[in-house]
Chains A and B, each alone.
Chain A
Amino acid sequence: MSHQDALFTYTLRLADDLLILSHRLSEWCGHGPILEEDIALTNRALDHIGEARNLYTYVGQVEGKGRDEDDLAYLRNERQFLNTKLVEQPNGDYAHTIVRSLLFDAYHLPLAEALTKSTDAQLAAIAAKAVKEAQYHVKHSSDWLIRFCDGTEESHRRAQEALDNLWTYTGDLFVMDEVHQQLLKAGIAPDLTKIKAAFDATVDKVLAEATLKRPTDGFMATGGRQGKHSEHLGFILAEMQYLQRAYPGAEW
Chain B
Amino acid sequence: MTDVQNLEERFQAKIDAEQKIEPKDWMPEKYRKTLIRQISQHAHSEVVGMLPEGNWITRAPNLRRKAILLAKVQDEAGHGLYLYSACETLGVSREQTIDDLLSGKAKYSSIFNYPTLTWADIGAIGWLVDGAAIMNQVMLCRTSYGPYARAMVRICKEESFHQRQGYEIMAVLAKGTPEQKEMAQDALNRWWWPSLMMFGPTDANSPHSAESMKWKIKRQSNDELRQTFIDRTVQQAEVIGLTIPDPKLKWNEATQHYEWGEIDWTEFNNVVAGNGPCNKERLAARNKAHAEGAWVREAALAHAAKKAKKEKVAA
Check A148–B299 contact: CB distance below 8 A: yes
> In the complex, A242 Cα to B300 Cα: how many Å?
38
| Segment among A42-50, A114-122, A172-180, A192-200 that sits at the interface with chain B | A42-50
Q: Which residues of B contact A70 (CB under 8 A)?
A: 62-63
Interface size band for B: 35 or more
Chain B nearest CB from A36 CB (Å) reads 7
Q: How far is the CA of A46 from the CA of B70 in the complex (A)?
A: 7
B172 touches A252 (CB 8 A): yes
Contact of A35 among B47, B57, B169, B301 (CB under 8 A): B47
CB contact list, B154-189 vs A, under 8 A? 169, 172-173, 176-177, 179-180
Cβ–Cβ contact B296 & A244, under 8 A: no
Q: Is B90 positioned at the interface, with any CB of A under 8 Å from its CB?
A: no
Instruction: State the CA gap A144–B63 with chains docked (Å).
Output: 29
A252–B60 Cα distance when bound, in Å, is 9
B105 within 8 Å of A (CB atoms) = no
Among B66, B297, B302, max chain A CB count under 10 A is at B66
Chain A: interface residue count, which band?
35 or more
Residue of B nearest to A70 (CB): B62
Interface residue from A32, A37, A73 paired with B63 (Cβ < 8 Å): A73
Main secondary structure of the interface of B (DSSP, over half): helix
Nearest A residue to B307 by beta-carbon distance? A150
Number of A-B contacts (CB under 8 A): 143
The answer to whether residues A49 and B50 also contact, given A34-B296, A151-B300, A151-B303 and a CB cut-off of 8 A, is no
Going nearest first, the 6 A-B pairs with the smallest beta carbon separation are A33-B293, A151-B299, A155-B299, A30-B54, A252-B61, A33-B296
A residues in contact (CB < 8 Å) with B:
19, 23, 26-27, 29-39, 42-43, 45-46, 49-50, 52-53, 56, 69-70, 73-74, 93-94, 146-148, 150-152, 154-155, 158, 239-240, 242-244, 247, 250-252
Given A27-B58, A42-B71, 10 other A-B residues pairs in contact with their CB atoms under 8 A: A26-B66, A30-B51, A32-B289, A56-B63, A74-B61, A148-B296, A150-B302, A151-B298, A243-B61, A252-B65
